[in-house]
């Protein structure tokens, strides 16, 4: 039986991040902190299950390409693998001379972002995808990328709800949007760092494997 995918493994921590934002929104509107609000994190069913399902659903509403664009603030060549050579040159773990001997047409590839990602995925990522160091950074990237997307969608839903059904949303102020805004920025930074780390870690592990062989 195949193991759980990285996205499936991220449902629980993603749900926790959603709960934390909901608690923050409650604090913003009540101006008090009630520790009982955190009791939901201890719930193994019911509310926590519902939040897990909701978080998983929201994370799939935005296409992967759009989520990647959100993280790296680019419309083209959005993945960190599109710039793996530039990232590798900044990583002290990577022997650049060894990398140059491994990568054919190093200089020409460096100026072709599209080919860089294909090359990195085929030659560096796929052979070591199951290595703990690589899988861990990939999991973190997916978690924070999806968290940023879920927070953005939640912020949009909140604004639309306030505009369309303000009477029912009277207890929730527009200030709540700032909670999502701060979360989005934090998740984007975390996802970007994790994504870049995933790329360079795959290269470092792959080159180390070659040396030891």
Asked, for residue 99, whether it belongs to a domain, the answer is yes
pLDDT band at 182 (very low <50, low <70, confident <90, very high): very high
Instruction: Report yes or no on 35 lying in a domain.
Output: no
For 3, phi and psi rounded to 5 degrees?
A: -75, 170
Q: Assess if residue 24 is contained within a domain.
A: no
Q: Residue 119's domain spans which residues?
A: 62-212
Domain count for the chain, please give it: 1
Classify residue 14: in a domain, yes or no.
no
CA distance 131 to 205: 8
- pTM, 2 dp: 0.85
Is the residue at 170 inside a domain? Answer: yes
Q: Each residue of 82-105: pLDDT tens digit?
A: 999 999 999 999 999 999 999 888
Q: Which residue has the higher pLDDT, 144 or 45?
A: 144
Inter-CA distances, 132 with 13, 82, 113, 152, 191, Å: 18, 23, 27, 30, 18
For residue range 38-70, list pLDDT tens digits in order.
565 555 556 666 777 878 888 888 899 999 999
Q: Is residue 140 one of the residues assigned to a domain?
A: yes
Out of 34-43, 105-114, 167-176, least confident range: 34-43
136 vs 78, 118, 165, CA distance in Å? 21, 21, 42
Is 80 exceeded by the pLDDT of residue 73? yes
What SS3 class is residue 203? helix
pLDDT tens digits, 21-37: 888 877 777 655 555 55
Mean pLDDT of the chain: 84
Tell me whether residue 6 is in a domain.
no
Is 180 domain-assigned? yes
């Amino acid at each position: 039986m195949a193991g759980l995918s990285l996205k499936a493994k991220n449902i629980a921590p993603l749900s926790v991040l959603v709960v934390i934002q909901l608690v923050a929104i409650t604090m913003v509107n009540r101006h008090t902190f009630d520790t009982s609000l955190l009791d939901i994190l201890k719930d193994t069913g019911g509310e926590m299950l519902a939040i897990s399902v909701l978080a998983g659903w929201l994370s799939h509403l935005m296409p992967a390409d759009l989520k990647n664009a959100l993280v790296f603030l680019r419309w083209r060549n959005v993945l960190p693998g599109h710039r793996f050579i530039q990232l590798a040159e900044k990583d002290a773990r990577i022997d650049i001379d060894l990398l140059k001997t491994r990568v054919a047409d190093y200089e020409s590839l460096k100026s072709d972002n599209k080919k860089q990602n294909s090359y990195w995925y085929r030659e560096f990522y796929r052979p070591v995808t199951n290595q703990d160091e690589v899988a861990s950074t990939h999991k973190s990237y997916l978690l924070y990328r999806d968290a940023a997307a879920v927070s953005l969608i939640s912020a949009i839903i909140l604004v639309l709800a306030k505009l369309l059904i303000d009477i029912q949303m009277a207890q929730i102020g527009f200030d709540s949007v700032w909670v999502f805004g701060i979360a989005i920025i934090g998740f984007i930074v975390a996802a970007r760092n994790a994504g870049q780390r995933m790329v360079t870690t795959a290269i470092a592990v792959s080159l180390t494997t070659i040396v030891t062989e």
